[in-house]
């Protein structure tokens, strides 16, 4: 073993300590920066709306659910509202309550069997198609499933 001078020993000791400090700070920092981009939760999840017994054949029922969406390090709670209808109590359809023209909220008017947008007098038919007015496309629809008496919609 060669003679180790005091100077050479201190240089090597400081280099080892600097490397250890860099590893202790660097590894968590890289994990912190990369972590949110690898989180894929929230996309394509099934959202529970309510019981199937609350939707009777005939007129659509407005159902609401609160959904937590994670974007990076932020978690945001949003309310999802959809009109759910059925003809036989087994098969359900879910339509968004947001007008496709400017994003206003539509309402169901049973007397006229249609969804009405109060902002620009848009009218949507029972199936969500545009009956009259300026909307460029029908109301958005959601995939539905019935499980243990609970209605679920698939998050877009």
- 42-66 pLDDT, tens digit per residue, is 556 888 888 888 888 888 888 888 8
Residue 16 and residue 12: Cα distance in Å, rounded? 6
H/E segment holding residue 86? strand 74-86
Sign of the dihedral through C-alpha 107, 93, 130, 65: positive
pLDDT band for 14, please (50, 70, 90 cuts).
very high
* pLDDT value for 132: 87
Q: Which residues, in sequence order, are CB contacts of 68 under 8 Å at separation 6+?
A: 42, 75, 76, 77, 78
Phi-psi region of 27 (alpha: psi -120 to 50; beta: other; left: phi over 0): alpha
**Residue pair 76/68 in contact by the 8 Å Cβ criterion:** yes
Q: Mean per-residue pLDDT for 62-79? A: 80
pLDDT band for 38, please (50, 70, 90 cuts).
low
For domain 46-154, give its CATH number from 1.20.1050.10, 1.20.140.10, 2.30.31.10, 2.102.10.10.
Answer: 2.102.10.10
* pLDDT value for 99: 87
* SS3 at position 36: helix
């Amino acid at each position: 073993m060669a003679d180790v001078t005091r100077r050479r020993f201190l240089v090597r000791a400081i280099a080892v300590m600097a490397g250890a400090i860099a590893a202790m700070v660097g590894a968590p920092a890289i994990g912190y920066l990369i972590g949110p981009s690898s989180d894929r939760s929230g996309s394509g999840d099934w959202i529970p709306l309510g019981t199937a017994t609350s939707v009777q054949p005939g007129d659509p029922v407005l159902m609401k659910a609160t959904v937590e969406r994670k974007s990076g390090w932020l978690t945001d709670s949003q309310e999802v509202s959809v009109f759910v209808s059925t003809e036989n109590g087994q098969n359900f359809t879910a339509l968004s309550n947001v007008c496709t023209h400017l994003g206003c909220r539509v309402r169901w008017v049973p007397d006229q069997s249609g969804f009405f947008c109060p902002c620009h007098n848009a009218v949507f038919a029972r199936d969500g198609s545009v009956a009259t007015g300026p909307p460029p496309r029908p109301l958005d629809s959601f995939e539905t499933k019935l499980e243990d008496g609970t209605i679920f919609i698939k998050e877009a």
